Structure 1
Amino acid sequence: MSNPSTRKPPTGKLYAIADIHVAFSYNQEAWFELAPHPGDGLILCGDIGETVEHLRQAFSIATKCFDTVWWCPGNHELYTFPTGSSTDFRGEQKYQQCVEVARSFDILTPEDDFVVWEGEGGATVIAPIFTLYDYSFKPYDVTIENAVSWAREENIEATDEFLLHPDPFPSRQEWCSHLVKKFEAKLEAAQAQFPSLPFVIANHWPLRKDLASLKYIPRFVIWCGTTLTEDWHQRFNARAVISGHLHIRRTDWKNGCRFEEVSLGYPRQWKHCAQMGLGVNDLLREVLPGPEPPENGEAPVQWRRYG
């Protein structure tokens, strides 16, 4: 059970960041520099770290700096190592262990009720979800069964294949299918409860295949989401969809919805920011109130290399 809530409803802005990877000392030190944001909220969009200790470390800083914090898991939180605090936790059980750690810091998770944001930007349902992936971001001429072999042809293979276990499901694809149905139903229920409100959907993996563009490792795309969520931004009236995972910061507009990739990334992937004097405080992405949609609902990609 979570502790009784001590959260103050935020009255300011909503920010997001993903892939802070505090297992790296460089990132850990940067996270310790997170500045206080009284009145604001923060979405942590997965890949905080791999262990319970990483989560506690990151969550303790986040909750000291922000009035309300949301978290959704990435693939790294779900890893099972042969030693350490999560040795006996695999798959769904590892996820639930992470949920309990988050709740001990009064952080909202995908397993908690979606809440209505009442800060800047107006009433909006904040919906952290967890969908995983099912290899369906493959090319059309590659079968699901051959997707991993196709990636291996270019010496690409996700660590997930060795450390992310799907227990009790037979495969990650079947776990993904279960999760998609679960959170589709949860979003539908929230939409029925708040029919006039827009949503902010936060998920570690991109909801759309066309947003999973990986110039240097294109075949890694099969570990980046599921086509089952392709239209969720329209179905659930999303004003913004937040994701991480790709370590490529960008903003896209699709059908009047803003898609934000908000990763910090591994040290080498934001070192140029650090060399320019930019840290995590500069790389937090403002979600709400955020900019107004473009007139026709579409806009060119805005690359966010420097925040």
Structure 2
Amino acid sequence: MSDRAYGNRGSLLAVSDLHVGMADNRPIVESLRPDSDEDWVIVAGDVAEKVEDVEWALRLLAGRYARVIWTPGNHELWTTKHDPVQLRGRERYEHLVELCRSLGVSTPEDSYPLWPGPEGPVAVAPVFLLYDYSFRAPGTTTKEESLAYAHERGVVCTDEFLLHPDPYPSRDAWCRARVVETERRLAAHDPEIPLVIASHWPLVREPMAVLTYPEFAQWCGTELSADWHRRFNVAAMVYGHLHIPRTTWYDGVRFEEVSIGYPREWRKRGHPKGLLRRILPYDDGVTGPAPVSDGPAR
């Protein structure tokens, strides 16, 4: 269905996991163009590992879309030896926020922009939460047991080596601090205005049920956000990270996994939901089975 069917109001679109550090993914980003001058696009993390690549992609999109809204994934927060920007942890995140602001891109540190939908305004809330290892591996009851199980299985997220939590003592401590601040802002939001919450990591654990490696779930979110889609007036929840693009519903709320993923994945499964997902206005099409994915980088 074209945007013209909605009276040329434009659409709220979303994408994630562009991974433009991979040469075969750059043409995909270069191909992304709006159907309307009024289209907005959410970029839900994992644009790239190097700051210069993040800037390239967001600058390109900011020059094409009426509004770009970004929230980081784990890959933007990696400090790799190949990146001239060697900032770590919160300083790296804050550097990316300032970069986005210089491009006119909205971030989790800015006011929630109001998308002027045909049925009234909708606030787009990019949130940065990380994870706290509470989505534990099967049969484990503590973070330590869950991590040990993952190491035994050889399924360990690269975050353990490249995503530094400075100045926090751990990634889970940083996550808890982010949850407190984000929850405060969501609670202060006018409940009469619906929200589209955009996060790299899903708010709930249920999407991890289809992971090939269930122990990877501990790097995929936090139980602390499990009721947010019920507590707040959420029209839709946008996320990525899992590289399993699909639409699911939990407690009557629509969850959209909008990732592009790695070349080996999209060559195998194609782009079953398209390169860009229309979040609003919602086109209630038929949702097929979850596509097969190798999952995010470990």
Deviations 1:224-249 (A, max 9, x none): 00010001001111010000000001
Name which of 196, 203, 223 aligns with 1:200: 196
Give the conservation status (yes or no) of the 8 Å contact 1:214–1:221. no
Give the conservation status (yes or no) of the 8 Å contact 2:192–2:233. no
Query: Partners of 2:121 and 2:290 in 1: how far apart?
Result: 27
Name which of 254, 275, 284 aligns with 1:283: 275
Secondary structure of the residue aligned to 2:39 is strand
Per the TM alignment, residue 11 of structure 1 is displaced from its structure 2 partner at its CA by 3.6
Gaps of 5+ in 1: 1-9, 294-299
Gaps of 5+ in 2: 1-7, 293-298
1:122-161 map, 5 Å? 122-138=120-136, 139=138, 141-161=140-160
Give the conservation status (yes or no) of the 8 Å contact 1:12–1:39. yes
* Identity of matched residues, %: 43
Aligned to 1:91: 89
Query: Partners of 1:49 and 1:131 in 2: how far apart?
Result: 18
Scaled by the length of structure 2, what TM-score is found?
0.89
Name which of 248, 256, 263 aligns with 2:259: 263
Query: Partners of 1:118 and 1:79 in 2: how far apart?
Result: 35
1:174-185 map, 5 Å? 174-185=173-184
Quick check: 156-165 or 217-226, which moved more?
A: 217-226
Q: Aligned pair in 2 of structure 1 residues 58, 121: CA closer, same or farther (>3 Å)? A: farther
Deviations 1:106-146 (A, max 9, x none): 00000001122113453111100000001100146331222
Q: Aligned pair in 2 of structure 1 residues 200, 219: CA closer, same or farther (>3 Å)? A: same
Give the conservation status (yes or no) of the 8 Å contact 2:51–2:83. no
Does 2:214 match 1:218?
Answer: yes
Per the TM alignment, residue 83 of structure 1 is displaced from its structure 2 partner at its CA by 4.4
Q: Which residue type is aligned with residue 105 of structure 1?
A: L
Give the conservation status (yes or no) of the 8 Å contact 1:121–1:288. no
Give the conservation status (yes or no) of the 8 Å contact 2:205–2:226. yes
Scaled by the length of structure 1, what TM-score is found?
0.87
Deviations 1:254-303 (A, max 9, x none): 222100011100111111465xxx699x321110011469xxxxxx9744
Deviations 1:22-56 (A, max 9, x none): 00000012211122441100000000001111111
1:1-40 map, 5 Å? 11-37=9-35, 38-40=37-39
The Cα RMSD (Å) is 2.2
How many residues in Structure 1 have an aligned counterpart in Structure 2? Answer: 283
Per the TM alignment, residue 251 of structure 1 is displaced from its structure 2 partner at its CA by 0.8
Query: Partners of 2:99 and 2:288 in 1: how far apart?
Result: 35
